[in-house]
Amino acid sequence: MTLLFEKESYEIRGACFEVFNKIGGGIREKTIENALKKELELRNLKVSTQERINIFYKEEKIGVYIPDLVVDDSILIELKSKPYITREDKKQFFGYLKGSKYTLGFLINFSQKKLEIKRFIYTTQSA
């Protein structure tokens, strides 16, 4: 079994650990976003910020989601800087992933104590 976007996933995880080890967590999400964007670009990944993504329900646009980062036009990244990721955070992020054209996303929390990386996959085959 092959991992979806294996190389990119490896680089994203590595970049997150590099940023967490350098600046830690529990700081402003925008600061983390800027550092992570820089680190991902240093790893030769294309990164866009605050891209507007249409969310669909039964082929009709029902809203817009603005993820923190999009990597290689393929992977959504949502950043948090809070004590822990909640069940609601996970459900919300997965809902955005399901309603978008993307199949892979990372919900990443830079808390003061630890780095949490949650990888989500959604394909029509898993629906």
Domain boundaries, the chain: 6-121
Q: How many CB atoms lie within 10 A of CB 7?
A: 11
SS3 64: strand
- Beta-carbon count within 10 A of 34 CB: 13
Contact 98, 57 (CB under 8 A): no
Confidence at residue 24, expressed as pLDDT on a 0 to 100 scale: 95
For residue range 26-70, list pLDDT tens digits in order. 999 999 999 999 999 999 999 999 899 999 999 999 999 999 999
How much is the average pLDDT of 3-7? Answer: 90
Residue 50: what pLDDT?
Answer: 84
* Rounded Cα gap, residues 44 and 101, in angstroms: 23
> Would you state the CATH architecture of domain 6-121?
3-Layer(aba) Sandwich (3.40)
